[in-house]
Structure 1
Amino acid sequence: MSEILFIAHRIPFPPDRGDKIRSHHVLKHLAARAPVHVATFADDALDFAAEPELAAMAASHCLVRRSKPLPLAAAEAMVTGQPISLTAFRSGTLARYVCKILATRPISTIYVFSGQMGQYVPENFRGRLIADFVDVDSAKFQAYAARDGGVKGWAQQREARLLQAEEGRFAAQADTNLLISDAEAALFRARLPAPYPPAAGVDVRTLGNGIDSDTFDPARVEAEPQLARFTGPRLIFTGQMDYAPNIDACLRAAQRLLPRIRAVHPDASLHIVGRNPAPALTALSGRHGVHVWGRVPDVRPWLAGCDLALVPLEIARGVQNKVLEAMAMALPVVLSPEAATGIPAQDGTEWLQGADDDALVAACLKLLENRNAAAAMGEAARRFVVEKASWPAALAPLDSLLGVAAGNARDAA
């Protein structure tokens, strides 16, 4: 039986943030079809605590603590002329494990999750290579550069330029390149640098995200008790809270949107839920209706205890799991066009979009002032997720890429 090597920039356990949720379900799908060997990083002790779950799913694994300080990674990048995204995820231990697995196991497919891990694939590998870029990281850094300016903007622009070149190199090496949405796939094709234009035969496809609507079901959980003391409208934003776009979105919600909502509903509150909240966010907690909760064991009770999900992202790549999770929990969602990318829901029926602050505030007030309409929108959102956004449906195209019949377990890689 042929086997699979899965290389990911973070351990796919616990599936408690966007990238881990996708990599977890992809790994689970692969492991049902062939033995999988996993090379990946842990960010902290909580990641290492999930190692037994990884061991139970994988035929073998190598889990390395990613502890390289950012200044050291930046220094290496400057010396070598590479993007920091590569040097930050460089490990001799991981590289040796990959070489050992390729030398001793019948690996027919390498699945690389996140472009910076392409550095571990040897150029002479002759099996099937699937590169799951998820979204276009170089475009994200380019957006940062345009926003920041100065020395920081120069560094972001350097990262964007070098990472774009690396994306082109690895895309040309791979048999198939996966992006999370049609929009990301089109952007990726358009940004392929010479000598890797789309006409060169680089295969770029869409593999969307799904949601476990059985787990994210409002009928299965009770509202978080700590939210009961907030008697007014409760708005929520969830996610990884040391991630720059999430930080900016929360600052926008707390400083620009919530005050205008509280002018109409003085007891309205904003609840920021997710691990590693940045100091800029914790400084706001407990003031003017903003409450920062940090990491929680289960985000579902927090969603169940709120009236509205507010997702005002200004920089976003790919599909936002936070949006799908809120929708699955029948929570009405108000979001920016950036946050809506890649989810074909209907504006006005399954969520409300707002192109600017005025529109976002108006959408929130509309739903808060008509609770029946808000409940109907939440129910429509859940129906959309259940019918159109399941993980089995999202990952079904993988079987043809792996060369197995749809749904066959442990058939062949």
Structure 2
Amino acid sequence: MGEILFLAHRMPFPPDRGDKIRSHHLLKALVALAPVHVGTFCESPQDRAHKEELAKLAKTHCLRDRTKPLWRAGIEAVVARKPVSLTAFDDTALRGWVSQTLADHPIDTIFVFSGQMGQYIPDDFTGRVVFDLCDVDSAKFDAYADQGERRWINRREGRLLGREEARLARRADNTLLITEAEAALFRSRLGDISGTQLTALGNGIDADFFDPAATTPHPELATDEGPHLVFTGQMDYRPNVEAALWIMRQLMPVLRQRHPHAFFHLVGRAPTLSLRALHGENGVRVWGEVPDVRPFLAAAHMVVAPLIIARGVQNKVLEAMAMARPVVLTPEAATGIDAQDGLNFAICPADPHAMSDVIAVIYADAERAGQMGRAARQFVLDTKSWGAVLAPLAGIVQRRSARDEA
């Protein structure tokens, strides 16, 4: 095969949040197949500090600072009748680099990571296009609108972004989604699926990195009375914010009636003001960004993930399972993880009394908690390593499509 152009909406380094973890491992797998040229955006000095790591992997690269404020993207989107998600990542310099790269190098495949970057595929490109949608973002905005949150804005974004997702799926030789359930959802929203190929390609986990045997538990959690519950993630991402607020406002008051020394630790960058305001109440501790989440996971009695809006596979769940922690989660957070309820984790509806009961039962039985944690890690080792998950990628990228054969 020829060379690959890889377009991602966020710098694939460092792999410290869900989308960046996936793009990071996809990029490494693609580099093993062919020379790769990378066009992407960085959003912080921390991103740019990893430029040399990107340069070592990529044959060439274009790293653009994403500085366009959301208000400006919103205005441009309304004027252009486009989704805000696209205008926020519209960059003239990157368009020029893509055009020049295609002219200067024998690129036969464009690999697009996330719907925001499909706008950079030239109309006259005749090679393969692989589009990693990951999950159906338009459905997420529809869900926000259904909940009454900024209804007009979110309904508009869901509608326009859905059109762009459908356009890209019909343009691509193969569209990837993280789970079969997400692929089924996308098919239902596409309507006419003739000429489209959808493939489920899941998320993996670096179980050598997330290894409890190589991690020292955080001393403040390891010594204090508990139970200690941990929730991790990007804490200005709305589904995470809503889940964390539910834990703080609804679960912890109920749990503390039974366990007065129960603590909830919120670990993740950029916690919103609404989250920070609850620090210190009902055993809540908001840590914000930390150098390493593993000591918190290693010390937790349980990891909780009561997500209601959850698209794709939750990396936070896989990381906790790899760290051999009992995980209590909602059915939505368990989507795409074919583990066994009661053996590898505990599924519970988002009801504070029901979840408090499940947590109390697991906490009271240290042997059961240990067995669940060990079974969770074994499940990850057996089925969720990145090597195993991305094994089909070579065939996906190299496979000739019906359009190639025409």
Give yes or no for TM over 0.5. yes
Quote the Cα distance in structure 1 between the aligned partners of 2:147 and 2:162.
18
Give the ranges of 4+ consecutive aligned residues of structure 1 lying more than 3 Å apart after TM superposition: none
What SS does the aligned partner of 2:281 have?
A: coil
Q: Which residue of 2 aligns with 1:118?
A: 118
Cα shift at 1:279: 0.8
Cα shift at 1:233: 1.1
Alignment of 1:123-142 (within 5 A): 123-142=123-142
Cα shift at 1:227: 2.6
Quote the Cα distance in structure 2 between the aligned partners of 1:125 and 1:359.
54
Cα shift at 1:230: 2.8
Pair 1:155-2:153 in alignment: yes
Alignment of 1:167-182 (within 5 A): 167-182=165-180
Pair 1:329-2:327 in alignment: no
Pair 1:299-2:259 in alignment: no
Alignment of 1:3-402 (within 5 A): 3-149=3-149, 152-192=150-190, 197-198=192-193, 200-228=194-222, 230-357=224-351, 358-402=353-397
What SS does the aligned partner of 1:338 have?
A: coil
Q: Which amino acid aligns with 1:233?
A: P
What SS does the aligned partner of 2:185 have?
A: helix
Q: Which residue of 2 aligns with 1:411?
A: none
Give structure 2 stretches of 5+ with no counterpart: 400-406
Q: Which residue of 1 aligns with 2:402?
A: none
Cα shift at 1:231: 2.1
Size of the aligned set, in residue pairs, is 398
Quote the Cα distance in structure 1 between the aligned partners of 2:82 and 2:59.
33
Quote the Cα distance in structure 2 between the aligned partners of 1:13 and 1:356.
34
**1:56-90, CA deviations, whole angstroms, 9 ceiling, x for partnerless residues?**
11111111111111111000110011000000011
What SS does the aligned partner of 2:354 have?
A: helix
Cα shift at 1:366: 1.2
Q: Which amino acid aligns with 2:307?
A: L
Q: Which amino acid aligns with 2:269?
A: R
Cα shift at 1:228: 3.9
Q: Which amino acid aligns with 1:168?
A: A
Cα shift at 1:39: 0.4
| 1:336 and 1:360 in contact (8 A); partners too | no
**1:76-121, CA deviations, whole angstroms, 9 ceiling, x for partnerless residues?**
1100110000000111111111111101011011100001110000
Q: Which amino acid aligns with 2:332?
A: E
Quote the Cα distance in structure 2 between the aligned partners of 1:394 and 1:183.
16
Give structure 1 stretches of 5+ with no counterpart: 405-413
Cα shift at 1:356: 2.9
Quote the Cα distance in structure 2 between the aligned partners of 1:111 and 1:356.
37
Cα shift at 1:2: 1.7
Q: Which amino acid aligns with 1:303?
A: L
Which stretch has the larger CA shift, 223-232 or 115-124? 223-232
RMSD: 1.1
| 1:23 and 1:113 in contact (8 A); partners too | yes
**1:363-387, CA deviations, whole angstroms, 9 ceiling, x for partnerless residues?**
1111111111111100110110000
Quote the Cα distance in structure 2 between the aligned partners of 1:346 and 1:26.
27
What SS does the aligned partner of 1:63 have?
A: strand
Quote the Cα distance in structure 2 between the aligned partners of 1:229 and 1:49.
36
Quote the Cα distance in structure 2 between the aligned partners of 1:232 and 1:179.
39
Quote the Cα distance in structure 2 between the aligned partners of 1:136 and 1:376.
35
Q: Which amino acid aligns with 1:331?
A: R
What is the TM-score when the length of structure 1 is the normalising length? 0.95
Quote the Cα distance in structure 2 between the aligned partners of 1:116 and 1:73.
13
**1:241-298, CA deviations, whole angstroms, 9 ceiling, x for partnerless residues?**
0000000000001110111111111011000001111111111112220011111111
Q: Which amino acid aligns with 1:118?
A: G
Quote the Cα distance in structure 2 between the aligned partners of 1:376 and 1:228.
19
Quote the Cα distance in structure 1 between the aligned partners of 2:106 and 2:128.
12
What SS does the aligned partner of 1:190 have?
A: helix
Aligned residues with identical type, % of pairs: 55
Cα shift at 1:304: 0.4
What SS does the aligned partner of 2:235 have?
A: coil
Quote the Cα distance in structure 2 between the aligned partners of 1:282 and 1:134.
30
Which stretch has the larger CA shift, 324-333 or 353-362? 353-362
Quote the Cα distance in structure 2 between the aligned partners of 1:306 and 1:401.
39
What SS does the aligned partner of 2:258 have?
A: coil
**1:190-220, CA deviations, whole angstroms, 9 ceiling, x for partnerless residues?**
1115xxx11x121011000111111111001
**1:334-393, CA deviations, whole angstroms, 9 ceiling, x for partnerless residues?**
000110000000001111111231322221111111111111100110110000111111
Q: Which amino acid aligns with 2:157?
A: E
Cα shift at 1:31: 0.8
Q: Which residue of 2 aligns with 1:410?
A: none
Q: Which amino acid aligns with 1:271?
A: H
Cα shift at 1:229: 5.1
Q: Which residue of 2 aligns with 1:408?
A: none
